[in-house]
Amino acid sequence: MQTVQVDLGDRSYPIRIGHGTLGDFGEAYAALDLGRRTAVVTDSNLPARYLEPVRQSLDAAGVSTVPVTVPAGESHKTLATVDHLCGEFIRAGLDRASCVVALGGGVVGDTAGFAAAVYQRGIDFVQVPTTVLAQVDASVGGKTAVDHALGKNMVGAFHQPRLVYIDTETLFSLPPRELRSGLAEVVKHALIRDPELVDFLERRVGDLLSLEVEPEELDWLIARNCQIKADVVSADEKESGLREILNYGHTVGHALEAATEYRQFRHGEAVSLGMLAVAHIARARGLLGEEAFLRHNTLVSRLGLPGGADAIGVDDLLGRMASDKKTRDGVIRFVLLQSIGHASPANSATRQEVVAGIRYMQGFVPGSR
Ligand SMILES: NC(=O)c1ccc[n+]([C@@H]2O[C@H](COP(=O)([O-])OP(=O)(O)OC[C@H]3O[C@@H](n4cnc5c(N)ncnc54)[C@H](O)[C@@H]3O)[C@@H](O)[C@H]2O)c1
Ligand SMILES: [Zn+2]
């Protein structure tokens, strides 16, 4: 088992990464000073076999568990689900010393994490992420949120987990599209921060998409990505500077998701398309060289890009970007690459540049799915 530490003073916590380790979760939990009563939150779509080892190992460690299931899907990442969770926590007798364990993807992590942040003004929280996206991104960093009818992730809190416990074996049951979408964040991490990881992905992205990798390699990959996120979050927890680089491809990506009501693209698919658009802006400015631009686009497109972005109006996308949470004083800001593996945050761009980036992206993979 490998450990990546997230350094945040007295809110520091370990990320433990292993393969086939769900049954040892209780031991890792008990090694920390955490409550003896827990709610284990999952969603209705998580393979049922993952809950039992978590519960049994907690039970063996003398920790009582109450399972709580929420309906699966982004459309249930809402205050109504948080309300439901808090009701279940009260019925289960959870008090200020108790703990919430989120077992599942980013939707479960964000919803259960936000419920833990507000229940009795905040109780302990542990993440057991089971999707690539949740393992390398959503479970690390302490952002929790639910969606509002008027915007995604609009209601939330910073609430760091006490432990992130990753069993990479769970990834083998992911539907191919979820795997692909999660790997987009892996590619993003590499492009903004880790040229060596770009080399690795150029060699192995095909094998990763079909999960033809050794457990040790998968553990290494997930740990490396957690390290990247942990380093960035440790340097800038509340996103006043460096942390913004994690939003590479996300300004356009979020606009694509919102314009299609979160139904057409998985998050990672939209981010992949968004990376193409901003790479074009960086290229057109002469920030990113031609060779790096081609390398970038080849790697991103090997993830398998969805069609259909060309059917979305450019003005619609521009309008949505202007109302993005990341926009400051009406200026849309973009993370741009300076070279492969190095990003610079907070670049403003002219309307003309953004339109050209969007058009480039729309021409890259035209057609509807
Ligand atoms: N808090 C953050 O910093 C942060 C960062 C990135 C994304 N997010 C959020 O994460 C969410 C997306 O997370 P996601 O992509 O994990 O989606 P998800 O949580 O909806 O999971 C996708 C689907 O896969 C199922 N599933 C989960 N694990 C599985 C497994 N091992 N095998 C088979 N099926 C499994 C789930 O039940 C669900 O139906 C978004 O809401 C996004 O806003 C949060
Ligand atoms: Zn993302």
- What is the mean pLDDT, run by run of 10 residues, along the chain of 369 residues? 94 97 98 97 97 98 98 96 98 98 98 98 98 96 93 93 98 97 98 98 97 96 97 87 92 94 94 98 96 97 94 95 72 91 89 96 82
Rounded (10°) angle between helices 215-235 and 176-193: 50
Task: Tokens for 312, please give them.
Answer: 């979305």
The confidence score (pLDDT) of residue 126 equals: 98
Task: Tokens for 256, please give them.
Answer: 């694509």
Residue type at 229 in one-letter notation: K
How far is residue 57's CA from residue 22's CA, in Å, rounded to a whole number? 8
Q: How far is the CA of 128 from the centre of ligand 2 (A)?
A: 18
**Residue showing tokens 């939330």:** 156
pTM across the whole model: 0.95
How far is residue 166's CA from residue 136's CA, in Å, rounded to a whole number? 10
CA distances from 181 to 46, 297, 304 (A): 17, 16, 9
The confidence score (pLDDT) of residue 288 equals: 96
The confidence score (pLDDT) of residue 333 equals: 87
The overall longest dimension of the chain from CA atoms, in Å, is 61
Q: Whose CA is nearest to atom 23 of ligand 1?
A: 105
The confidence score (pLDDT) of residue 237 equals: 83
The confidence score (pLDDT) of residue 326 equals: 66
Counting ligands in written order, which one lies closest to the CA of residue 246? 2
- Collapsing DSSP to helix, strand or coil, 136 comes out as helix
The confidence score (pLDDT) of residue 345 equals: 85
Q: What is the DSSP letter of 306?
A: -
Residue 134 alpha carbon, nearest atom of ligand 1: 16
Q: Whose CA is nearest to atom 35 of ligand 1?
A: 46
Is 185 catalytic? The answer is yes
How far is residue 123's CA from residue 121's CA, in Å, rounded to a whole number? 7
CA distances from 248 to 167, 272, 277, 343, 351 (A): 27, 10, 11, 8, 18
The confidence score (pLDDT) of residue 327 equals: 64
Q: Whose CA is nearest to atom 5 of ligand 1?
A: 138
